[in-house]
A and B are shown apart, each in its own frame.
Chain A
Amino acid sequence: MLVIAPTVELAFWTGLVIAALLIAVAVITMTESVYQRIKDRRRESVRSDIRHGILKRMSSQDPDWTGWVAGLSDVERKVARTELDEYLRNTKGEEKDRLIGLGEALDIPTTAHKTLRDGKRHEKLQALIWLALLEKSAEINTLQNACIEDNDLRAAGARVLYEADHPDARSVGTELLLGDGDLTLSVYGLDTLYQLYRTNPRPLFERASAEYSTWRPSLIIQVLNVLRHCGSSGRDAPKEWIIELTEHELPAVRAAAALALEPEGWRTDLREQVNVDNLIGDPAPAMREAVYQMLGEWGDASAHASLVNGAEADSDQRARVQALEPLADRPELASPQAINNDEEDYNRAWQWVQAKNRLDTDR
């Protein structure tokens, strides 16, 4: 008969290994928990006073942050930093300027500059956020060396320059954000690129026009999205590349290109360059929906006519609704009676758009 009989020693050693593992995990877990709790309590016990101290000095003409900070313990300084972080994100103008004084008194910019040179990735990110919040710049070389590892660091580096209103914020910031086109932007990066070009997007149009063919599709979509929200760039900015992208192989890129043309409806010459008939015949419904949205924004007679044509011809009912939505208050152009269209699907789409429009008007 088969008898499975490991030795006592084996049982002992197995037990010992598992017991050692368990004891180690339990001790580490409980020690960490207790340690964190003690730290929490210490911080909570001083938080109210620190908050009061900051708020009181924020409204004073001479806050004397240096004197106040000199009298704080280590724990109190740490709490002051967390409070400052929160307040800096929620204040503007004079109040923010005073709070920046607190950041300086806490020696945050000096520490941040040092961390930027020799810190780990997450420490560098924390340092960059501090610099951005305190509107302090950093040396361009330092940023270029410290912020190349990934898209978060690049975004944070560009943000520092933007917040500090650095004269090279656009050129260096864009270089950091877009790199060689093999990156995608983080949310932070998207917003930073937008902030950099919000008031004058033309340089971004120019750069994108020259480089887009070397970019990843995701980056093309993101930059088109930024340009769309930046608004129109004036007559001279290059737009032909966007029109070319409306024929890109990926529907998502085509749709992003159509939406990027949204703010350009005022330019007759550009409208004439866009082959709207081709676009509303695109095989991808998502692209056609984007085109209808673009035409809705353009809002001229020709765009309206194209929308009606699209709505009549579109085989996708959802896209058809999208085409009719900009015409909801123009029954003389798009109602089934006006265009002699008794097709049931068209009628249903029209009735739906009308009913939604009535409800929105009531609201």
Chain B
Amino acid sequence: MTARAIFLQFLGITGVLIFAYYILINANYLFIHIMALLQLRDEVRADSWEPNYEPFTTPFLPGVAIVVPAYNEAGVIVESVQSLLNVNYPDKEIVVVNDGSTDATLDRLKTAYELRPIEAEVPFELECEPVQAVYRSVEYDDLTVIDKMNGGKSDALNAGIWLTDQELFAAIDADSLIDRDGLLEIVRPFLEYPRTMVAVGGTIRVANNCEINHGRITDVNLDRAPLVAMQAMEYLRAFYSGRLGLSRIKGLILISGAFGVFQTEAIREIGGYRETTITEDFDLLVRLHREFMQQDRDYDIEFLPQPVMWTEVPESRRVLSRQRRRWYRGMVETLWTNRRMIGNPKYGRIGVYVLPFFTAAEMFGPLIEGLGYLIVPLAMYFGVINWEFFIIFFIVTTGFGVFLSWFGVYSEVTSFRRYDDPKQILRLLGDGILENFGYRQWKTLVAWRGLFEYLRGDQSWGVMERAGFDDSADQTPNEPTQSAEEHQRPSQSGPGQNDPFIWGPPRNETKQFIRGSQHNVPEPFIWGVDPFIWGVEERHSGLFIWGPHQDQSDPSIQEECSNDNIQTRSGSINSIQVTGPEDSTGGGQEPTTTDKN
């Protein structure tokens, strides 16, 4: 047999194996989606009646500590805390953990909330880097701030978990917005199963371009940028299909780091968040299953689709790639660490079904898909497969992928309808098709890159450049924010080195500035040179410009951009339009399991 023949034989067999793999994986996805639909039907029915008791007078709601890790969040921290203080819940404690920020995060909190230090050393061991001080607010009984040395997001979460006395804690990102009644809804399972319920996850949705008023989402919009809209659809698919389906079969292995509530003691018992992992939320839940099953303990973990946390997703491919690579590396690392659970009947359905499926679909899926894009066309070129096979392959992968994505959109329409405009639904359906032509292939490349980074031992978090939330009611200027996404140890990449806030003087009679980074120019902008200043401008109108970072020190510009002069543009996330005083008209780990098809 010649080398060519062996090669062709290899191509043919690999092509068939990849095809068989797709059939198997898609059949399992379909099963999970159907389970999700059944669960969603039950949840919608449960939501159709509202018990007539008063949550604020009933003495039975457990205390919840909302632990907010904050690293260089000066731009958003005061608003974020205010939004959390406004959350409807009778017995809550906001525990902000300032994780060695190098900016004014702590100072802003001190000023805004009249913080006073507890003038004594914390008397018990906190499983974290040294704590410098613990503050409590004079104004708000339920606000505590821990100031500690930098140790990363997991370390900061651990500080809050070990300090608080509350029975439950919620892990929440500083730059996310929780539904006003979100906590009231998410603690429900803890009351119904007080002995066994250890963790409950809520839904994450995309906040980009949504209208925000006093820390609340008041109008849900789909962002115009296709990259953001596709992520909105991914989140729908991941939460309304993946998480819900797995929850239905008691196989939930991931609760988003941005919105989960846990029994504090249970998490302390398993040692809290692991500081060496880069996807602490995934690691935590798999470890929870492992430890509790090893101890033969009776426990429950649940996902609820109704309580929602709104988060901002990346708007550039570069940042999204970095985020997804981190998720991929973290997933591989967690699966490798817990490899003895995979296929092990000792761990029940988690070991026998969920983890093997998760490994095959989420870890190997994108890698095999990437190979498929090379091998199948090659096999066709060499005549090993005919075009009919190619068509069938395309239909099964892409066609069925679209079908599963649309399942997620269908679930949205028939359940809680946060996207209530048919135009939005049409766009989501369109994105379900579009993502198969370019975006999906790009994600396989990202996964391969993530795998190489993992094999190379890369543990960095990378930088998540987020614009933060403009609140049209508060009229507060946004400042650069490093979200929890980039919340990292300084040794991994220097704190505060990224996401410079650059802005420029007025031009064309409209004074404007845009938050962001020079490395993260939003889609409609290009780099350019202005007679006065270099920066970027909008491709067509030329209205927006950015200036170099150092110009922020110019007092005249600072004055122009003072709070009084700023109006947000429909509360959108990405930009703030600055009008002159005379003119006030100016305008963890998420989508996995069913992340791909």
A residues with a Cβ closer than 8 A to B are: 1-8, 10-11, 14-15, 18-19, 21-22, 25-26, 28-30, 32-34, 36-37, 40, 85, 88-89, 121-122, 125-126, 129, 132-133, 151-152, 155-156, 159, 163, 184-188, 190-192, 194-195, 217-218, 221-222, 225-226, 229, 250, 252, 286, 317-318, 320-321, 345, 348-349, 351-352, 354-356, 358-359, 362-363
Residue contact A191 to B400, C-beta cutoff 8 Å: no
By beta carbon, the residue of chain B nearest A129 is B49
- CB-contact partner of A29 in B52, B386, B392, B410, under 8 A: B410
Whether A187 and B118, one on each chain, are in contact in the complex, defined by CB atoms closer than 8 angstroms, is no
B124 at interface, CB cutoff 8 A: yes
| Binary A-proximity of B1-40 (CB < 8 A = 1, otherwise 0) | 0000100110011011000000000000000000000000
Q: What B residues does A3 contact at CB under 8 A?
A: 12, 383-386
Contacts of A129 in B (CB 8 A): 49-52
Min Cβ gap B463→A in Å is 37
> B116: CB under 8 A from chain A?
yes
Residue on B nearest A192 in the bound complex, by CB: B53
* B389 on the A face (CB < 8 A): yes
Q: Does B224 contact A (CB under 8 A)?
A: no
Query: At the interface, is chain A mostly helix, strand, loop or mixed?
Result: helix
* With A25-B410, A317-B124: A8-B192 Cβ-Cβ less than 8 Å: no
Whether A359 and B406, one on each chain, are in contact in the complex, defined by CB atoms closer than 8 angstroms, is: no
Q: Which A residues lie within 8 Å of B403 (CB)? A: 18, 21-22, 25
3 nearest A-B pairs in the assembled complex, by CB-CB distance: A355-B120, A18-B399, A317-B124
Interface membership of B249, Cβ < 8 A? no
Question: Chain B 361-405, CB within 8 Å of chain A: the 1/0 string?
Answer: 000000000000000000100011110110110011001101100
Residue of A nearest to B1 (CB): A1
Q: Are A22 and B194 in contact (CB under 8 A)?
A: no
Give the distance to chain A from B365, nearest Cβ to Cβ, in Å. Answer: 19
Give chain A residues whose Cβ lies under 8 Å from the Cβ of B51. Answer: 129, 155-156, 159, 186-188, 191
Which residue on B lies nearest to A1, using beta carbons?
B8
For the complex, what is the distance from the CA of A334 to the CA of B544, rounded to whole Å?
A: 66
Choose from A5, A156, A192 the contact partner of B388 (Cβ within 8 Å): A5
**A122–B49 contact, CB under 8 A?**
yes
A354 to B123, CA, bound (A): 12
Whether A2 contacts B13 by the Cβ 8 Å rule is: yes
B125 at the interface (CB under 8 A from A): yes
Cα A225 to Cα B196 in complex, Å, equals 16
Contact of B399 among A7, A19, A156 (CB under 8 A): A19
Measured CB to CB, the nearest residue on chain A to B188 is A187
A residues in contact with B138, CB < 8 Å = 362-363
A residues near B196, Cβ cutoff 8 Å: 218
List 27 A-B pairs, Cβ < 8 Å.
A1-B8, A1-B9, A1-B384, A2-B12, A3-B383, A4-B15, A4-B384, A4-B389, A5-B389, A7-B388, A11-B389, A18-B400, A22-B399, A22-B406, A36-B420, A125-B49, A218-B193, A218-B194, A222-B194, A226-B60, A286-B265, A317-B124, A345-B123, A348-B123, A349-B123, A362-B138, A363-B138
Q: Is A5 within 8 A of B123, CB to CB? A: no
CA–CA, A89 and B388, complex, Å: 63
How far apart sit A40 and B422, CA to CA, in the bound complex (Å)?
A: 12
Per the 8 Å Cβ criterion, residues 86-134 of B in contact with A are: 116, 118-125
- A6–B388 contact, CB under 8 A? yes
Contact indicator per residue, chain B 164-198, by CB within 8 Å of chain A (1) or not (0): 01000000000000000000000010011111100
> Is B123 in contact with A11, judged by CB distance below 8 angstroms?
no
Q: Pick the residue among B46, B48, B429 that contacts A30 (CB under 8 A).
A: B429
CA distance A14 to B409 in the complex (A): 23
Which among B192, B399, B406, B422 is the interface contact of A184 at CB below 8 angstroms?
A: B192
Contact B58 A194 (CB under 8 A): yes
Task: Say which residue of B53, B389, B391, B406 sits within 8 Å of A15 (CB atoms).
Answer: B391
B391 to A11, Cβ gap below 8 A?
A: yes
B residues in contact with A186, CB < 8 Å: 51, 188, 191-192
Neighbouring B residues of A11 by C-beta, 8 Å: 388-389, 391-392, 395
Known interface pairs A15-B392, A187-B192, A321-B124; 12 further A-B residue pairs with C-beta atoms within 8 A, sorted by A's residue number: A6-B388, A11-B391, A14-B391, A18-B396, A37-B420, A85-B50, A129-B51, A155-B51, A184-B194, A187-B51, A352-B123, A355-B118
Cβ-defined partner of B193 (8 Å) among A10, A184, A348: A184
The chain B residue with its CB closest to the CB of A124 is: B49
CB of B302, distance to nearest CB on chain A (Å):
14
List of A residues within 8 angstroms of B191 by Cβ: 186-187, 190
Q: B395–A89 contact, CB under 8 A?
A: no
**How far, in whole Å, are A40 and B391 apart by their CA atoms in the complex?**
42
- Per the bound structure, the CA–CA distance linking A217 and B8 in Å amounts to 65
For A1, the chain B residues whose CB sits under 8 A away are 5, 8-9, 12, 384
- Decide: A30 and B392 in contact? CB cutoff 8 A: no
B455 in the interface (beta carbon within 8 A): no
Contacts of B50 in A (CB 8 A): 85, 129
- Which of A33, A192, A317, A321 lies at the interface centre, i.e. has the most chain B CB atoms within 10 A of its CB? A33
Residue from A4, A25, A133, A359 having most chain B Cβ neighbours under 10 A: A4
A32-B414, A33-B422 known; A348 and B121 CB under 8 Å? yes
| Cα–Cα, bound, A115→B302 (Å) | 31
Given the complex of chains A and B, what is the CA–CA distance between A8 and B386 in angstroms?
A: 10
Q: Which residue of B is nearest A9, CB measured?
A: B388
Given known pairs A4-B386, A26-B429, the reply for A351 and B121 (CB within 8 Å) is: yes
Partner of A36, one of B45, B60, B406, B417: B417
A208, B118: Cα distance in complex, Å: 44
CB closest residue in chain A, given B414: A32
Q: Would A362 and B116 count as touching, CB distance under 8 A?
A: yes
Distance in Å: Cβ of A33 to nearest Cβ of chain B: 4
Q: What's the minimum C-beta distance from A230 to chain B, rounded to whole angstroms?
A: 10
Inter-chain contacts of B473 with A (CB < 8 A): none
